[in-house]
Structure 1
Amino acid sequence: MFSHYKDVVLLMSRSILCAVSFVSAFRTLQVHRGASAGFLLHGLSSVLGVVCLLLPGLSVDCSRLWVSSIIGLPLLVFSFFWLNGDHFTANLALMCALLLAACSPQLTYDTRLVGMHLTHAGASLSILVISVFTGNRTGLLGSLALGTWGLISFLDTGRVKPLCIQVGADCALGAAILAFQMALKTPL
């Protein structure tokens, strides 16, 4: 019964993350298509996580989920830079992400993990810098939530329960996505 409780809590956190991602994708569709696509990728990744929880016998290669993070976050960075008029940096960030995703079959698991963490840190810092210089408070809060999400993934599972880490990561990412959606709808 206790194991069932853990599954229900994790299912709820992933479902909320999925809903936040899809609502953000829909609400930013008219603002910038890149941001909407980034939110959509996170939503689809969350749907796959929910399906894996609901159908434990289903064999899904969850190692492919990292591509949504590698491309989804740079799409958000692309949108922030593009909407602020820095088209060169926007295109550079997106090209680097696409190059990393294209090289993924040749990368080891550890290299993918490092690439994912560097993408999280780069996205968080890029949006933080843009938000500071433009005075966008919700973008600032979103980048701090995204940094928290990246930090949670480094926690030691021997000292902190894995369920707490997973639910905390889902909550932090959901808060970051919601803040980014609100930041992109405000005039920059």
Structure 2
Amino acid sequence: MNLHKAYLAPLPLTGQTLDIDPNSKSVPVAPITRDEGINLHWSADSKKIHWTLGDEYFTNDINERFTFLEGSPDSIPPVDTVGVKVALEADTYRPDGVIAFTGATIITMEDDQVIENGTIVINGNKIEAIGDASVAIPAGAKVYDVQGKTIMPGFVDVHAHVSAFGYRNYTSETLAFIC
């Protein structure tokens, strides 16, 4: 892997460490992905390598990436740019109800505006109001006092290993808090 682009190279048994990169001359190095390769894995017979990128699944025959292998072509064909579309659809959690975060320092992204002791009101998964402490909080809203905390747009961690940290009993309240 080099900046998420995957390469393939034979590994001769030299008894020494080999530094291999896309420009190596000591062993042949062939790109197997045009852009990136995620979830790389071999076929059961080790003659193909598979990977995903976005909503596509790719496969490369190893003997088509080098010219010295038995049954390989005289020249290397271009790397596939179109894979098999993976049409995966899944329901996602959509919170319901109204929550309000109060007492926060809010970075608004409106030039250098920062709201001290601010309030954000969220209904379902949409922000309905944002402002200072005078923002009206609807009756029945669950209120979180986040005084001393800063809220800012743009930092969204969509890559999480939630179950790896012991959270196994997902409830709407747990998911609303951690997602």
TM-score (norm 2): 0.22
TM-score (norm 1): 0.21
Which structure carries more relative contact order (alpha carbon 8 Å, separation 6+)? 1
More strand by share: 2
More helix by share: 1
